[in-house]
Amino acid sequence: MNFKTVLFDFDGTIADTNRLISESHFVVMEENFPGRFKKEEMAQFNGPSLEEIYGNLDHSRQDELVARYREVMLEKHDEMIGMFPGIKEVLENLKQEGLRLGVVSTKRSDVLKRGVSILGITDYFDTILGSGDFSQPKPDPESLFLAMDRLDADRETSVMVGDNHHDIVAGNNAGVTSVFVGWSEKTTAFIQPYQPTKIVKDPQELEEYILSGVRV
């Protein structure tokens, strides 16, 4: 396959924000649902939209809980955000080969762009989409279709890369190649029922897979 467009999830795929997200959720959980969750259970909240997470916990207080999470997360954001080793090199190499790159995330758009900027990778992306840019978050394919429209991309030559089942299902629903990254908090055993097209163990394997049809 000669891929031309790659869409990336952000948290847990490009950005190493697992600890940031888990600690922020745990603060909110302890404040509002004391003793209900253990800290090691916070990984389950990395991926779904905030509205889904807190709406399921207490629909009547959804907006209040979402706002509190964002407040806590922003306090910790700049000092705790990092990037997985090897990702920047992958982005640079894909860009040099002429691929169009995008970010599609459930994170609020302004915070997403702030994170991309802090990591110094803004220039690699042709479009960056966060919540507020679309109405239905992943696993609904709406955000992927919007990104592909902005990039003038075809389904047959597009890839969705992510670390959670929301990314994989969204990619499958959009009719594009779906790639699960092995540096995720989620295991390959967890993701296999969602039928990703490809599972890669590290950024180098991701690059080799995407460019395999480009460098022939």
Burial 19-41 (b: 16+ CB within 10 A, else e): ebbbebbbbbbeeeeeeebeeee
Contact present, 11 and 46 (Cβ < 8 Å): yes
* Partners of residue 212 on adjacent β-strands: none
CB half-sphere exposure, 202, CA atoms < 13 A = 4
| Catalytic residue set | 9
Alpha carbon of residue 174 to chain centroid: 16
Q: Determine whether 149 is exposed, middle or buried from the number of CB atoms within 10 Å of its CB (0-12, 13-18, 19+).
A: exposed
User: What residues have CB less than 8 Å from 78, skipping those under 6 apart?
Assistant: 118
Cα 189 to Cα 161: distance, rounded to the nearest angstrom: 17
Alpha carbon of residue 158 to chain centroid: 16
Alpha carbon of residue 50 to chain centroid: 13
